[in-house]
Chains A and B, each alone.
Chain A
Amino acid sequence: MKVSVPHMGHLHWMMDDLFERLEVEYVKPPPSTTKTLTIGAKHSPEFACLPLKINVGNYIEALETGADTLVMAGGHGPCRFGYYGIVEQRILLDLGYEFNFLMLEPFSDGALAFYKTFKSLSPGLTIPKLYRILKISFSKGRAFDYLYKRSLQVRAYEVNRGDTSRAIREAEQILTLARTPDEIEEAAREALAVVDAVEQDPDREVLKVCVVGEFFLLLEPFSNFGLEEILGHMDVYLERSVWVTDWIAPKRDNKVYGFPKKFVEEKAAPYLNHNVGGEGRETIGGIVLAAERGFDGIIQLLPFGCMPENIATSIIPKVQRDHDIPVLTLAFDEQTGRAGMVTRIEAFLDLLEARRKTGKTGTYVSYVSQKPSAAV
C-alpha cells in the first residue's frame, strides 16, 4: 500500500514521521507547481475554492507517481472543507483513476472511527500504540511550527537577505532525522539555535504586520506565492494566526497567536458573535487583538469565494473604522498573479509607513509564550 496525503504547508514533515512510525509507505506528492494547479483547476468545479483545486492537482500527481491509497481529512461543516474528500474522490473516479480513498473524520466525531481509519492503513495497530505514535509525531510537528514562527521574526532583521531561508532549510534537516522524544527535544533546540544564529541587525526599523485569514492560504506558501518570505525580505516583522499543529490539534482548540481560542472569540463578539465555520470568527477576533497590540497593519488572505472569510470581509470595514487599523484583503484563485499581489503589498506597506510617521500607530506589545516541542 502506498499512501498519499495532499500538501498543506509543512504538514509533509509530520506525515513523513507519522507514516514511518505506522510502517506504511508514504508517497509525498510532488511539490505543488503551476502545473499542479492547472491540472487541478481543469478538473474541479469552476467556483470551488482554491485549496480543493490544489488538492486535486496533488492527488493526480501522486497517483501518477504510484500512490494507490489517498487520505483526506473530514469535518462536519459548515465550511466546505469537510466535504472536500467526497468531491475529490468523485472527480478522480470520473477521470478513471483506481485507488482506495480514506476519509479521516475528526477525533471529536467518533474516536473509534478515527482509530479504525488508521487501523485500515496499518493492521495490527493498537489504540495505545496509535496514541503514542500520534503524540510523538505531533510533538515533532510542533517543533517544526516553532521554527517557522521564529523565522518570520528573524527574517525582518537579517543582515544578508536570504540567510533565514537558508538557515530554515538546514534546521529542517536536523529536525527531520530525530526519532525518539528525547532526540526530538534535542534536535528542536539545535534547529532553533541554527535559526537564531542568523546575523541580525537589531536596530533596524521594521513594520509589524499580522497575517490572518483562511488556514490553507496561510499554511501553504505555494498558494500565496510565498507571501511571508516576500514580506520578510521587505523588512516586515510578521505574526500569523494559524499553524499546522494548532489547526489539527485533537480538541481543535487552536491557538491564535498563542492566545486561547475563547479569548479571541470574546474579542470578535461585538462584531461576529457566532461560529461561521472555517476561520471567520478567528479572523475578526485576530484583527481586534492585533489592533490592540499595536500592529502597524493586517493582511487577510482568503481563497476566492471562501464563505467564512467572506463573512469576515463583510464585517472588516466596521472593525477597521472602530479600531483605526489598516487591513489589506487578498483573495486568491488560479488566476491570481504574483506581480499584482506584490504591487498591492508594496502600496500597503507605504501606507503603513506614512501612518507611522504621523504617529498613528500604537506601541507594539510582544507576545512570546510557546515553548518548542510542546506535547499534544
Chain B
Amino acid sequence: MRVGIPRSLLYYKYLPFWKTFLAELGLEVETSPLTNKKILSWGVEVAENELCVPVKAFYGHCMALRGRVDALFVPRVVSVEEREYTCPKFLGLPDMVAAVADQLELPPLLTPKLNQREKPSEFKWQLINFARDQFGLSRWDAIAALEAARVAQKRYQEELVRGRKPLDLLPASRLNRPRWKTPKSERKRIGLLGHPYNIYDGYITQNLIARLEEMGAELVVPEMTDHHVLMEAATDVPKQLYWTYEKEIMGAVNHWTRQKMVDGVIYVLAFACGPDSLVQVLIEHRARTHNVPLMSLTIDEHSGEAGLVTRIEAFTDMLMRKKRTAEAVA
C-alpha cells in the first residue's frame, strides 16, 4: 500500500518520524512535490477563503497526491506537549479535508489522533493502536517502528540544531542557494522568526531565505536552538502560552534578545494566522524593549515578489547603517 504525505504544515517538523514509522509498518511512502503555482491555486480554489495560506496549500498538496497513492496520511495533531495545544486548525484538519474528499475524489484518509495534552508519551499508545486497528500489526512490531522513527527524528533535530535547514535534509528538495556571498565582515545576524511551514516553503515565502542571504544576512532560526532552551525562555511571559508552536517562536525571540544573538529580527506571519495575531503584540514589545529592530512580514497567496524584496532590502540596509554607525562611534 502506498501512503501519501502532503508536503505542507507539520511535514517540515515531523517528516522523518512519520516517514520512518510508516515505512517500518511496511508501507510505501510518497510525498507531494514542492509547492508550486498549480498546487497553491488548487488549494485556494477549494479552501474556505478566510483560512491561512499554509492550510490552503495543504488542500492543494492533498490534491497533488490524487491517483498516486492508496491513502493520505493526515494525522490529527492535537497536542505535542503536556497542557498545550498545537493550533485549532491542526485539530480540525482531517475533518476539513474529509469534508471535500468526495468532491475532489481524494484517496481514503489515515487520521491517527496524536494527543499528549493529558499525559506525556501518550502518543506512543495512540500510534500503536493506530497500527493495530489499521494494519493489524502486533504491539511489538509497532513499538519497533516507533523506536526507529524516534531515532530518525532525533537525528533530524540534531542536524537542525547544528544549523542545517530542513529543506537540505528532507527528501527531494533543496534549499535555493544564494547566488553570491557577502564577505563576513559585511554580514549582519538576522533572526528569521515564523512557522517552518511558511519560512521553508520557498513558494509561499518567495525564496526568502536565499534572498536574505544574498543581501548579506547570517540567518538565525528557532530550530538552531535546543527545544528545551526555547521552552524555558518562553516562560518569560505573564501567562503561559498554550500553543506549542507559538511558544517556540516566543521562546526564540526571548532567547535571542537575552543572549544578544541577533542584530535584527524578521517575523514572518501568515495573514489571518490566529495565534500569531496575538503573540505578535508580545513579540513586538519584547523587541522594542530590548532595542532590536523587528520587521513583521505578513504573507498570503497574493503576496507580490517586488513588495517583499523592497521591504527586506530596506530592512537589511537599515541594519547595515546601524552597524556602521555603532562601529564609527566605537
Contact = CB atoms under 8 A, between A and B. Distances in A.
Interface of A: 45-49, 52, 74, 76-80, 82-87, 89-91, 94, 103, 271-278, 280, 304-308, 310-311, 313-315, 317-318, 331
B111 to A, nearest CB: 9
Contacts of A280: 88, 92
Contacts of B76: 274
A78 B85 contact: yes
A217 B84 CA distance: 26
A166 B271 CA distance: 43
A221 B273 CA distance: 26
Contacts of A311: 88-89, 91-92, 95-96
B272 interface: yes
A78 B50 contact: no
B99 A318 contact: yes
Contacts of A103: 239
A204 B330 CA distance: 84
Given A274-B113, A305-B272, A314-B48, A83 B239 contact: yes
B291 interface: no
Nearest to A48: B277
B87 A78 contact: yes
* Of listed A272, A276, A306, A313, residue having the most chain B CB within 10 A: A276
Contact of A47 (B51, B84, B100, B271): B271
A305 B277 CA distance: 10
Contacts of A76: 83, 242
A94 B287 CA distance: 13
Contact of A274 (B48, B78, B277): B78
B237 interface: yes
B282 interface: yes
B1 interface: no
Contact of B50 (A45, A82, A272, A310): A310
B281 A87 contact: yes
Interface string B66-102: 0000000000101000011111110110011011101
B91 A275 contact: yes
Q: Which of B51, B274, B298 has the most CB of A within 10 A?
A: B274
B326 interface: no
- Interface of B, secondary structure class, is mixed
A59 to B, nearest CB: 14
B285 interface: yes
A78 B95 contact: no
Nearest to B285: A90
B256 to A, nearest CB: 19
Interface of B: 47-48, 50-51, 76, 78, 83-89, 91-92, 95-96, 98-100, 102, 113, 237-239, 241-243, 271-275, 277-278, 280-282, 285, 298
A276 B83 contact: no
Given A90-B285, A94-B285, A307-B89, A315 B99 contact: yes
Given A314-B96, A314-B99, A77 B277 contact: no
28 contacts: A45-B277, A45-B280, A47-B272, A47-B273, A48-B277, A76-B83, A76-B242, A77-B242, A77-B243, A78-B243, A79-B88, A86-B239, A87-B281, A90-B281, A90-B282, A103-B239, A274-B76, A277-B88, A280-B92, A305-B50, A305-B274, A306-B274, A307-B274, A311-B91, A313-B48, A315-B96, A317-B99, A318-B100
Given A45-B280, A91-B281, A274-B95, A310 B51 contact: yes
A271 B99 contact: yes
A304 B273 CA distance: 11
A87 B241 CA distance: 11
Contacts of A274: 76, 78, 91-92, 95, 113
Which of B237, B242, B272, B277 has the largest count of A CB atoms less than 10 A from its CB? B277
B278 A310 contact: no
B88 A86 contact: no
Given A48-B277, A305-B277, A317-B99, A83 B242 contact: yes
Nearest to B79: A78
B87 A85 contact: no
A314 B51 contact: yes
A80 B280 CA distance: 13
B86 to A, nearest CB: 8
Nearest to B59: A314
A331 B237 CA distance: 32
A79 B92 CA distance: 12
A280 B87 CA distance: 13
